Structures are given as structure tokens and as C-alpha cells.
Structure 1
Amino acid sequence: MTTTIKQPPQKPGIADLDWTLVGFLTAVHGIALLAPWFFSWSALGVMIVLHWLFGSIGICLGYHRLLTHRSLQVPRWLEYVLATIGAMALQGGPMFWVAGHRQHHLFTEDAEKDPYAASRGFWWSHMLWLIYPRPSVFNREIYRSYAPDIARDRYYNWLDKYYLLLQVPVAIALFAIGGWPFVIYGVFARIVTLWHSTWLINSATHMWGKRRFHIDDNSGNLWWTALLTYGEGWHNNHHAFPNVAPAGWRWWEIDVTWYAILVLEKLGLARRVVRPPAEAMAQAR
């Protein structure tokens, strides 16, 4: 009988780095650090509004709860609008984002198969997974198999390839309205703060937080990440019931994205909104 010994995951080396992406991330962070020299209250306001629009409406509602988990349905035109807003967050196209997140749920914290496995450590799950790219996460011909519904759509394929270009009209419009302060805050500072807000869900909520549901991963409900990410920080709730539309289940669990879904439902624009099962709600005390 042959015994197969499973080898531990290899630590990435300096040669494995995607230097192009390292340079891009460094440049965006560097420009964002110019923000104190361009400060104005109106520029800060623009950053906050766009952080909410691209983060809560685009990523949390559009990419995550709608496209990835199909926890609600909206008209096709509205789905395209929400996906486009998500693409403007500069976190990848819809097929890339959905495929990666579905892998995360299928193989949560598996050091080899989860794209941002917290079992590899805080910094790996926070951002190192991006600069040490693996084919299953970054090769379109491979990752598309995890999002076949998205891959069949021509518009989503276009967004997946050209999402970076969407920053150009945003920057031009902001410059026309408020000059360089609006560009620095509305583009670069907004991108960086939204990146790290989103990445905290991959890292912090898989290391800390309360575990309402005892499931086979370390996801936790972490209130301060929920405030930064419009509800996504109620992550133990989400991992226990991924296809449920609300992440916050009790009135004190602030979930700004869920409030937006409720508005869409009241307007008749969202239907088949998946709510927590009654027996699970009884545990949510």
C-alpha cells in the first residue's frame, strides 16, 4: 500500500511576486498619501459618498449579495447598473470577483484552494494573495469555471477585461467639478480606503469576532468591520448562511447594504429576497 504524504504549502518567494501589480498598488497608495496636502471638506465628502456608492452598492450589494450568492433578484438592467458600479470600485471585474469569492466559500481557509485563506496568516488573506497570483484565481480560463453564469454574459466579460478604464471618466468628471482635491480624494484615497475595508473581511473577520454559529471555519461577527464595510463584518452569520441577503440579523447589527436592499424591495425592484430561516433566527440572540 502506498502512503501519500501531504506537503505543507510552500512559502512564496520574491521571484513569485507580480511586480507589475506591486508597482501599481504602491503608486495608488503613494498618490493617496498626498491627501493631506489637498484637503478640503468637500473633497472628503466626495470620498465618503463614493466609498459608500462603489463599496456598499457596487461591491457588497452588486458583486457580493446579488451576483455571487443570488440572494435577491433584480431586473437585468438594474443588475448591469449595480455590476458596473461594482467594477468602478477597482477590485476586479465581476467574473474575477465572483469566482474568487465562490472559491473562498467552497474551500474556506484551505491553504491551497481558498484564494485568501486566513490559515496562511493575516497579511496573506489581507493583501499578499493579490501580489502572489495563482492561476486558479487570476487565469481567466481557469477561474471562469467557478462563475459560469457570469461567464456566459457578454457585458460581464467586457467588464472583466476593461474595468480599469472606468476610473478615467470618474477622474475626468471629478477634476471638472473640483480639481485635483476631488481627484486625489475621490479616486485615490477612496480606492485605498475601500481596498483595505474590503480586505479586512478576508483577514480580520476570519481571525477575530464572535461565533454565533459553530461552523467549520473561523469566521466571526466583528462589529467594527461591519461599520467599515456596510454590514459585511457580520461574517459568521454570512458563512453559516451564505445565500441569505442580510448579513446583520438583529437590530443592533448595523447592515447598511441590507437597508438598501429593503429600499429596492419596497420600490418593487428587488424580489425573491432570501431571508434567514426562522430556526436560525431563534439562535441569533
Structure 2
Amino acid sequence: MSESTPDSLPLPAWRRVLRAALLWFDTGADAVDGDPDRIDWLRVAPFIALHLACLAVFWVGFSWFAFWTAVALYAARMFAITGFYHRYFSHKAFKASRPVQFAFAVLGAASVQRGPLWWAAHHRHHHRHADTEHDIHSPRHGFFRSHMGWFLTRRAFATDLDAVKDLAKFPELRLLDRFDVLVPVLLAAGLYALGAWLESAYPGLGTSGPQLLVWGFFVSTVVLFHVTVTINSLAHRWGSRRFATRDDSRNNPLLALLTFGEGWHNNHHHFPGSARQGFAWWELDLTYLGLRAMAALGLVHDLKPVPPALRKARPEPA
């Protein structure tokens, strides 16, 4: 679909807005043609609004209930991203039943980081081309580009189904991926409704519908997004390199703590297939501990270990 009419005249503003709005709700609609590396400001307007909505904390105020709701949703959704969007969907580092697979796909979708097929396709592309000219979120292209600029471009919008044929065979995952805005909207509505009920039923909590919406959804989601993408922008720049991989990946303990283990990024690029990214006993990997707990409960199984031969450090060549 072209941005211009057959006479090469620009489309009217109302048509461009309407087409962008369609893409907010249905990512399977035809994308707008044009420079694939240019930020599509109309399409990313909701993403910008998500950030601006955080300023409403000065209006809705603070309560410990709202704060801990934000923390709990950060933790639950971070685990869904790191454990399932990343280690399961992207790398197949363990096995899960179809109901468990879908449940954590829904929880991951609540993170507002697009659908599971989109996420996995882009991440697999990253591993094929890490820190080359084809890696669209390599820090070699600059901090802003690697942190979030890539996410806002037309090139990054589509889901490459050829890269995730193993996942695209599940119609429920394809539906979730196509209408990826649905789960976040339901989460936001649910938080508002819960806050409104608590304000009436338990006024001592000091919360309300708007407050729980702002803290539990907007603030928690924005923090979650920016912490997640530090693995693109910072974990390929700052940290140590135990293994001489072909990319710039680093191990960063602070990022590992914030991302539940993803900060052991040089380990991960050395052997992406492992369910564990903290290879040493002292490398805290909360996601792996969570997966071990799920395995003990029979919810997941066949967690792939790190082969002993690959644990030995491989220093950079002199």
C-alpha cells in the first residue's frame, strides 16, 4: 500500500491517521510504504502516550497498594518476557504444554512489547546478525537507535512469519500476535475497575481507579520496557566478556538483577540454547530459578543445560 495516490500526490491527513489507527488495533493490516528506517510517528503515537501518561502520578497521588501492584506486575511480566518470550519462544530452551505456552504468551503480551511471534522473530534475527549492519538494534548504530529507535521504525513493524514457522502453526499465537493491543487494554481496564472497587470497599488502602491504572499499568509498563531494552543498548557496551563471541555482548551484573538474569548476556550469546544464562553459581538468574520451580511443579520440562565443555572461558584473542 503506497503513501501516495496514483497521481503521486500525498494522501490526505485523515486517511494517513485512519490507516495508522487501523495498525494500532490490527497489526495484520497492510503497513504503510516508505522509508523503512524512518520513525512512523502516527503509528507510534500510543507508545508516546504511554510515556506521557506516567506524568499523571502527580495527579493521582501515591499509595503503597498502587506501588506494590506496579512492582508485582513488573516482576510477573518480566518473567514472562525473559522466561517465555525469550528463552522459550525465541530459543526453545525448554518445553511446555500448549496451555502453559498460551498462558505465558498472554502474560507477555500484557507487557506491551508486541506479540510472541513478533518478539521471537526479531530476536532470532538479532542472533543471526548480532552487531553487524543487519542488526537493527545494535549499539553500533547509536544509543537511541539500539534502545528504542529501531522499535519505532517501519522496518521493525512486521512479523517475519518465516522466521517462526514452528510457532506460527498455533492459531491462538497468531491471533494474539495480530491483535497484540487487546491484552494490554484489558489489563488497563481491569486495573481501573479494581482500583475503583477498592476505593469504595477498602478506602483505607488509599487507592482509586485512576491511581491503580497509572501506577499499575503506565508506570510499571514503561519501566518494564526500558529495563528490557537495556539488553540491546547497554549489554552490548558495558560489562565483562568471559567468552570471545563474534558480537559485542557483555555480562553486566546490575542489568542481570533488573532483568532477572538477562544481563549475563555474553554467556547467552556464547550458548543461546540454554535455559540458564547465569552460568556460574554466583551469577544470579531469577528467571532460571523461576523455571526450575515451574519444572518442579510439572508445568515445564526438559530445561536445556549448558554443556560442560562450553562453560570454560574463552578469552579474546590477543
Regarding TM over 0.5, the answer is yes
Do the aligned residues in 2 keep the contact of 1:69 with 1:243 (CA within 8 Å)?
yes
Answer yes or no: is 1:211 the counterpart of 2:232: no
Answer yes or no: is 1:123 the counterpart of 2:155: no
Q: Partners of 1:131 and 1:75 in 2: how far apart? A: 33
What is the match of residue 64 of structure 1?
86
What is the match of residue 54 of structure 1?
77
How far is the alpha carbon of 1:36 from its aligned partner? Answer: 4.1
Do the aligned residues in 1 keep the contact of 2:109 with 2:184 (CA within 8 Å)?
no
Number of aligned positions between the proteins: 267
What is the match of residue 229 of structure 1?
259
Q: Partners of 2:179 and 2:112 in 1: how far apart? A: 11
Answer yes or no: is 1:40 the counterpart of 2:40: no
Whichever residue aligns with residue 205 of structure 1, its letter is A
Q: Partners of 2:239 and 2:66 in 1: how far apart? A: 33
Residue 274 of structure 1 is aligned with which of 296, 304, 313? Answer: 304
How far is the alpha carbon of 1:123 from its aligned partner? Answer: 1.3
Q: Partners of 1:23 and 1:75 in 2: how far apart? A: 36
How far is the alpha carbon of 1:212 from its aligned partner? Answer: 0.5
Answer yes or no: is 1:16 the counterpart of 2:16: no
Moved more, 36-45 or 208-217: 36-45
Do the aligned residues in 2 keep the contact of 1:231 with 1:248 (CA within 8 Å)?
yes
Q: Secondary structure at the match of 2:179?
A: helix
Moved more, 272-281 or 44-53: 272-281
Whichever residue aligns with residue 76 of structure 1, its letter is R
Identity of aligned residues (%): 35
CA offset digits 1:68-97 (Å, max 9, x no partner): 100000111111111111111110111110
Q: Partners of 1:196 and 1:274 in 2: how far apart? A: 28
Structure 1 139/172 Cα, relative in aligned 2: closer, same or farther at 3 Å? closer
What is the match of residue 7 of structure 1?
none
RMSD between superposed Cα atoms in Å? 1.9
How far is the alpha carbon of 1:282 from its aligned partner? Answer: 4.0
Q: Partners of 1:254 and 1:16 in 2: how far apart? A: 38
What is the match of residue 139 of structure 1?
158
Runs of 4+ in 1 over 4 A off after TM superposition: none
Do the aligned residues in 2 keep the contact of 1:100 with 1:115 (CA within 8 Å)?
no
Q: Partners of 1:133 and 1:225 in 2: how far apart? A: 28
Where does structure 2 lack aligned partners over 5 or more consecutive residues?
Answer: 1-33, 196-208
Residue 259 of structure 1 is aligned with which of 289, 300, 306? Answer: 289
Q: Secondary structure at the match of 2:131?
A: coil
Q: Partners of 2:230 and 2:305 in 1: how far apart? A: 25
What is the match of residue 172 of structure 2?
155
CA offset digits 1:34-82 (Å, max 9, x no partner): 22442111111001100111111x1111111111100000111111111
Q: Partners of 2:194 and 2:301 in 1: how far apart? A: 37
Structure 1 81/218 Cα, relative in aligned 2: closer, same or farther at 3 Å? same
Q: Partners of 2:230 and 2:128 in 1: how far apart? A: 19
What is the match of residue 244 of structure 1?
274
Answer yes or no: is 1:194 the counterpart of 2:194: no
Where does structure 1 lack aligned partners over 5 or more consecutive residues?
Answer: 1-11
More helix by share: 1
Structure 1 174/139 Cα, relative in aligned 2: closer, same or farther at 3 Å? closer
**TM-score computed with the length of structure 1 as normaliser:** 0.89
Whichever residue aligns with residue 160 of structure 1, its letter is D
**TM-score computed with the length of structure 2 as normaliser:** 0.80
